[in-house]
Chains A and B, each alone.
Chain A
Amino acid sequence: MADLTELGVAQIRDGVRDGAFTAREVAEAFNANVAAASLLNAFIVATPEKALDAADAVDAARAAGNTLGKMAGVPIGMKDLFATRGVQTTAGSHILEGFVPEYESTVSHKLWGAGAGMLGKLNMDQFAMGSSNETSYFGNVVSPWKRNDGGNAPLAPGGSSGGSAAAVSARLCPAATGTDTGGSIRQPAAFVGIAGIKPTYGRCSRWGIVAFASSLDQAGPMARDVRDCAIMLEAMAGFDPKDATSLDLPVPEWEAGLNPDMRGKRVGIAREYRLDGMDADVAKSWDDGIAWLRDAGAEIVDISLPHTQYALPAYYIVAPAEASSNLARYDGVRYGLRELVDGGGLQDMYAATRAAGFGAEVKRRVLIGTYVLSAGFYDAYYTQAQKVRTLIARDFEQAWRQCDVVLAPTAPSAAFALGDKSDDPLAMYLNDVFAVPASLAGLPAMSVPAGLNREGLPLGLQIIGKAFDEQGVLDASLAIEQRAGFAAKPKRWW
């Protein structure tokens, strides 16, 4: 039998349905790859028995002639930000080490209901704060990719969904969940040559996802191609009364609607995204994307998103402010780590617990957030940032008069080496310069592989769409995918 771990979501779903192989065979093949890939450190916990149980249920349902779900027989990786009942959920942190939820997140619950099975919980930047997977308490995730210079430098898989990215790219799972607050699906997808979409804010329920910045957090799928992302997003999305910001809208049939014909569509190229000193390979892949979409029939239009340069600084006020509030819940009382101080009282326990349980980047952001929300500084920082955010959203609203989607690079460079930027928070933050504007405006955005740079590393292109228009984003991404012909994969060294 062909190697089942080379198959994607659609191929597995169809093969299981048609009886070409069983769901159990698929789960066993991916379980074996997970078990053999500890050098990548992509998983915090593996759950092979969960994958097998779900597969057996699908095989039994098929034998009984029952209707199979959208993800029937597809084993997936679950980012460790999603609460999974009975399985440790840490958000990559020490403070939640050993936390075993008594409940299931809405998104993971929907995926299991659609017939998916869980291979394990994926490593990630601590509380989703990071762009390189170097802030996890459970160690760095290592990208399966290597530069073609013969060097052996371990590369960053991107972040915060770096475990998800590394696992999909290395064929440890055909797809994985990610979450995106300021690029955490798109940037890692670009770094490892896979696809990933952040849907419109509110499409996927946030219930049961460990909160980072609630006005920005969105879950989405990461998989090897656009169709697989469309299938999985259908299974993840939908109204949830348990999330006050959940969109009460029907879930479109994105897979059935896929159409790469771009005739009559206008693609915006924002002049503000053309940065001084832009990486030459990134600039070239952007030009390739323009040519491909033109070839697909699209009209290319120059647009302006005048407040682009302020998106990143606004994000680094809004996100830490919300994080400092959300992370107040980790106090050593109700769950997670508790550190006691000899002779100390409750306040000492709070401070000692949080000192021991949070990593350096989390502390940095909680402190920034506390400062910008503190009396006397709130208006100067937080209110100003939220006004700038209004202007950034308005930039996009005005752009939609001229175009249907925006094409941009996903990240300003290909993957960097682990350790390259970890000493400089600002340099790390700049990784998300192209990703953050869509996050601040709540818009759907997708990264799709575009090619390799001169070092042999993947580059991604990003499509940003109108609110609720995931279909337009998926369609334009598919048009790129068909023309990029990206087939590279990392050579196995792990």
Chain B
Amino acid sequence: MSVDKATVAKIASLARIRMSDGEVAAMVPELNQILGWVEQLGEVDVSGVEPMTAVIPNRLRLRDDVVTDGGIRDKVLANAPAPEHGFFGVPKVIE
């Protein structure tokens, strides 16, 4: 499988990274080189093999359903680029 300019532009849009036409064009051969190289995984016989889900066997723990923190709004907002009235300010969402 290989990617073309339209595919790279689509991926960049999915990844929310703005790219110029020139940047997209430059990325096409780079991604194709990497994708061509990982393609060799297709030759591995994986019949009957489960995909790895946990690298070290470890049971997911549950904790009691209680509040363990909170009341730190100002700390949460401390690094926000545009905090407003105790909220995260963002540009308009509805066009």
Do the two chains bind?
A: yes
A residues adjacent to B (C-beta < 8 A) = 98-103, 200-202, 215-216, 241, 244-245, 247-248, 307, 309-310, 313-314, 316-317, 324, 328, 331-338, 340, 344-352, 354-355, 358, 363-364, 366-368, 370-371, 374, 377, 380-381, 383-391, 393, 425-426, 440-442, 467
Q: Which residues of A contact B88 (CB under 8 A)?
A: 333-334
25 chain-A/chain-B pairs, Cβ below 8 angstroms: A100-B78, A201-B55, A245-B56, A247-B58, A248-B61, A310-B40, A333-B88, A334-B80, A335-B81, A338-B82, A344-B91, A346-B91, A354-B16, A363-B19, A364-B30, A364-B34, A367-B8, A367-B31, A371-B35, A381-B38, A384-B44, A386-B52, A390-B49, A391-B46, A425-B30
In the complex, what residues of A have CB within 8 A of residue B30's CB? 364, 425
CB-defined contacts of B66 to chain A, threshold 8 Å: none
Minimum CB–CB distance from B54 to chain A (whole Å) comes to: 8
Contact of B41 among A215, A313, A377 (CB under 8 A): A313
Q: Which residues of A contact B61 (CB under 8 A)?
A: 241, 244, 248
Contact in complex: B51, A386 (CB < 8 Å)? yes
By secondary structure, the B interface counts as loop
Our count of residue pairs bridging A and B at CB distance below 8 angstroms stands at 169
B60 and chain A: residue at smallest CB distance = A244
Contact check: which of A100, A333, A345 meets B92 at CB < 8 Å? A345
Cβ contact of B50, chosen from A317, A349, A390, cutoff 8 A: A390
Write out the residue numbers on chain B whose beta carbons fall within 8 Å of the beta carbon of A333. 80-81, 88, 90
Residues of B within 8 A of A364 (CB): 27, 30-31, 34
Scoring B16, B63, B79, B92 by chain A CB atoms within 10 A of each residue's CB, the highest score goes to: B16
Given A201-B56, A346-B91, A371-B3, 11 more pairs with CB closer than 8 A: A310-B44, A328-B16, A334-B79, A335-B80, A346-B90, A354-B17, A371-B7, A391-B46, A440-B55, A441-B55, A442-B56
In Å, the complex CA distance between A314 and B44 comes to 11
CA of A101 to CA of B50, assembled, Å: 39
